[in-house]
Chains A and B, each alone.
Chain A
C-alpha cells in the first residue's frame, strides 16, 4: 500500500510538473505493441490459472482480474 501511495505521489508530481512531457512518443511504441509484451495475451488461460491459485492459496487479490468463489477442497 505504501509503495502504491509513493508511486502515485511521484506520478502525480511528475505529471503536474511543466518540464515533464510524455517521453515515449507514439512512433516509438512498436516494441510495446508487440503481443509478446501484453500482460493478458491469453485471458482464458490466465483467468483459469488465477482460479487454480486461489483455490489452493490463502492469498488473493491484485491479480489483474475479477474472481469468483468455490468451495473446492
Chain B
C-alpha cells in the first residue's frame, strides 16, 4: 500500500514538475517577491554603500506591479578627485515604478525611474513587449527607453545642462535542448546634449610640467552592443553559464567582455555561485592622458573610463534557503551574500598623485591601477 502511495505521489510530483517546466519560457508574470539588500563598493578611494529594496506584487491574473527604492551614499577620494579637487560625500536616491501586463503569450511592461543627487537628476522611461512562440521554446522581446538628464555643478549654482538618451533593444531567448538555454540581445543607445562631467579636467604640457583645463566632449554619441548568454544544466544538479558582449560607439571606443560562471546547489538549502569576468576596451579618439598644448584637439577627455584598459572580476556568492514553516504568508525565503573582487589595469592613464610625490616628469608617471571589493548582502522572500 505504501509503495502504491509513493508511486502516485511521484506521478503527481512528475506531472506538477512538467507543468511547471512548461511555463519556463511561456509567458508568465514575474513571481511576487520582496528583496532587501545592503550593497557596498570599496576601491580606488571611493566608497559607495546603501540599501536597495524591491517589492513585486501581482494584481489579479494579468497585472504585476513593482517598486524599487535604491540609495548610493558616496564618499569619494578617487584619483580624479585627488588630482584636481577635494574629497567629497554625496547621496543618490533612485526610485523605480514598473507594471507588467500579461495577455495570452504576450507581456507588455512599462517603467519609470527617477534618480536624484545634489548636482544630477535623471528620469528614465521604458517600454518593453515580449512574445512567446514556437511551442514556447522562443521568446522575442523588443524595448524602447528614453532618458532625460539634468546636469548641475555644486560649485556653480547657475550651471545647468541637459542630455537626452534613447535606447532601442531586441532580444531572443531560445531553449536549445532540454539542458541548454541561450539568449542573444542587441541594443543601440543614442545620446545628445551635455555629455561631459563638469568637474573633470584634461592636462596638457606647460613649461616643463603640466596644467589642467576643462574637458570637452562631443554633443552626441551612438553605441551598439550585442550580447550572447548561455546556460547549461550539467549531468548532475549544477549549471554553467557563459556570456560574451561586443560593444562599439561613435567615439571610437570598442570593448568586449566575457564571463564564465558555475552554480552548484548542495544539501537542499545551499547554492554556491562562482564567476570570472574579463572586460577590455580601447580608448576614445579624443582621449589623451597628457595633451601637448592647450586646446590641442577640438574635443578632449582624460576620463579613465574612456581610456584603454582591462579589468578582471572574480566573484563568489552563497545563498541559504530559510525555513519559513512558521510564517504563513511567505512561501519561501533566502539569505544571500555575494562578493566580487575587481581589478583595473590602465594602459594609458598615469597616476599623477604618485607622480607629484615621486617627482616624476610629466608623462613619465607610473600607470594607474586599483582594486575594488563589491559586496551584496540581501534577503529575498516569495509570497
- Tell me the residues in window 1-45 of chain A with beta carbons closer than 8 Å to chain B beta carbons: 1, 3-4, 7-8, 11, 15, 21-24, 26-34, 36-37, 39, 42-45
Contact assessment for A68 and B171 in the assembled complex, using a CB-CB cutoff below 8 Å: no
Residues of A within 8 A of B187 (CB): 61-62
A-contacting 9-mer, from B57-65, B100-108, B110-118: B110-118
B24 touches which of A15, A22, A32, A49 (Cβ 8 Å): A32
Does B220 count as interface, using CB distance less than 8 angstroms? no
Tally of chain B residues near chain A (CB < 8 A): 105
Contact assessment for B200 and A31 in the assembled complex, using a CB-CB cutoff below 8 Å: no
Contact assessment for A48 and B37 in the assembled complex, using a CB-CB cutoff below 8 Å: yes
Q: How far is the CA of A31 from the CA of B281 in the complex (A)?
A: 36
Contact assessment for A43 and B54 in the assembled complex, using a CB-CB cutoff below 8 Å: yes
Contact assessment for B247 and A68 in the assembled complex, using a CB-CB cutoff below 8 Å: no
Contact assessment for B124 and A67 in the assembled complex, using a CB-CB cutoff below 8 Å: yes
Contact assessment for B117 and A36 in the assembled complex, using a CB-CB cutoff below 8 Å: no
User: How distant is A73 from chain B, measured CB to nearest CB, in Å?
Assistant: 5
Residues of A within 8 A of B257 (CB): 57, 59
Residues of B within 8 A of A57 (CB): 255, 257, 279, 281, 305, 311
User: How distant is A59 from chain B, measured CB to nearest CB, in Å?
Assistant: 4
A-contacting 9-mer, from B131-139, B203-211, B351-359, B360-368: B131-139
Which among A44, A49, A57, A63 has the highest number of chain B CB atoms within 10 Å? A44
Given contacts A22-B134, A66-B145, contact A30 B378 (CB under 8 A): no
Does B225 count as interface, using CB distance less than 8 angstroms? yes
Residues of B within 8 A of A53 (CB): 279
- Tell me the residues in window 277-330 of chain B with beta carbons closer than 8 Å to chain A beta carbons: 279, 281, 284, 303, 305-306, 311
Does B41 count as interface, using CB distance less than 8 angstroms? yes
- Tell me the residues in window 237-279 of chain B with beta carbons closer than 8 Å to chain A beta carbons: 237-239, 245, 247, 249, 251, 253, 255, 257, 263, 265, 271, 279
A30 touches which of B18, B68, B167, B306 (Cβ 8 Å): B18
Contact assessment for A4 and B22 in the assembled complex, using a CB-CB cutoff below 8 Å: no
Q: How far is the CA of A56 from the CA of B223 in the complex (A)?
A: 16
Given contacts A3-B184, A44-B52, contact A58 B253 (CB under 8 A): yes
Q: How far is the CA of A11 from the CA of B184 in the complex (A)?
A: 12
Contact assessment for A27 and B21 in the assembled complex, using a CB-CB cutoff below 8 Å: yes
Q: How far is the CA of A30 from the CA of B18 in the complex (A)?
A: 6
Contact assessment for B199 and A61 in the assembled complex, using a CB-CB cutoff below 8 Å: no
Which among A7, A24, A53, A62 has the highest number of chain B CB atoms within 10 Å? A62
A62 touches which of B173, B175, B245 (Cβ 8 Å): B245
Given contacts A7-B184, A44-B54, A49-B374, contact A73 B245 (CB under 8 A): no
B305 touches which of A7, A34, A56 (Cβ 8 Å): A56
Does B89 count as interface, using CB distance less than 8 angstroms? no
Q: How far is the CA of A55 from the CA of B130 in the complex (A)?
A: 28
Residues of B within 8 A of A43 (CB): 35, 54
Contact assessment for B306 and A27 in the assembled complex, using a CB-CB cutoff below 8 Å: no
User: How distant is B170 from chain A, measured CB to nearest CB, in Å?
Assistant: 7
Contact assessment for A39 and B23 in the assembled complex, using a CB-CB cutoff below 8 Å: no
Pairs A–B under 8 Å by Cβ, sample size 11: A4-B186, A11-B172, A15-B134, A26-B18, A29-B18, A39-B229, A49-B340, A56-B311, A58-B255, A60-B189, A71-B151
**Besides A4-B226, A33-B23, A73-B80, 18 other A-B contacts (C-beta < 8 A):** A4-B186, A26-B18, A26-B22, A30-B21, A32-B25, A33-B20, A36-B233, A36-B239, A39-B173, A42-B380, A49-B376, A58-B305, A59-B279, A60-B225, A61-B225, A62-B169, A66-B113, A69-B124
